[in-house]
Amino acid sequence: MTNQKLIKELLADLEIEAVERARDAERITDVQAKRLIEKISNIKDIQANPLYHIQDQNGQLIGEIATSENGTIFTALRYGSHAVNRSSTFMDYDDAVKFISDPG
């Protein structure tokens, strides 16, 4: 298996332990392992805490909701300088959407 093919497979599998085993077996370099582990960690964080873009009825982006604590806390951010209280945190996704949708 080529090095690039192995790297693609390791990245697709999202298993840090597999990257460490490949590094320990000298199938990839320390630098490659470090970069893969960083990418995998970032992907897992995004999967656990996704970001949602909110649009108005015309399809214009009016804000975003970022999750944390494995998707149990929702931080809403309104776009635009006209927005009063541009951000707030909620325990419920629907409340965060309402906050963004209500400009004032």
Long-range pairs of 5-11 with CB within 8 A, sequence gap ≥ 24: 7/32, 7/36, 10/36, 11/36, 11/39, 11/40
Give the 3-state secondary structure of residue 31: helix
| Per-residue model confidence as pLDDT tens for the chain (104 residues) | 578 999 999 999 999 999 999 999 999 999 999 999 999 998 998 888 888 999 999 999 999 999 988 888 999 999 886 767 789 999 999 999 999 988 66
Comparing CA positions, the residue from 50, 70, 52, 74 lying closest to residue 61 is 52
For 1-10, the pLDDT digits (tens) are 578 999 999 9
Alpha-carbon distance of 57 to 41, in angstroms, equals 35
Q: So what's the pLDDT on residue 13?
A: 94
Q: How many residues does this entry show for the chain? A: 104
Q: So what's the pLDDT on residue 64?
A: 95
Q: So what's the pLDDT on residue 1?
A: 59
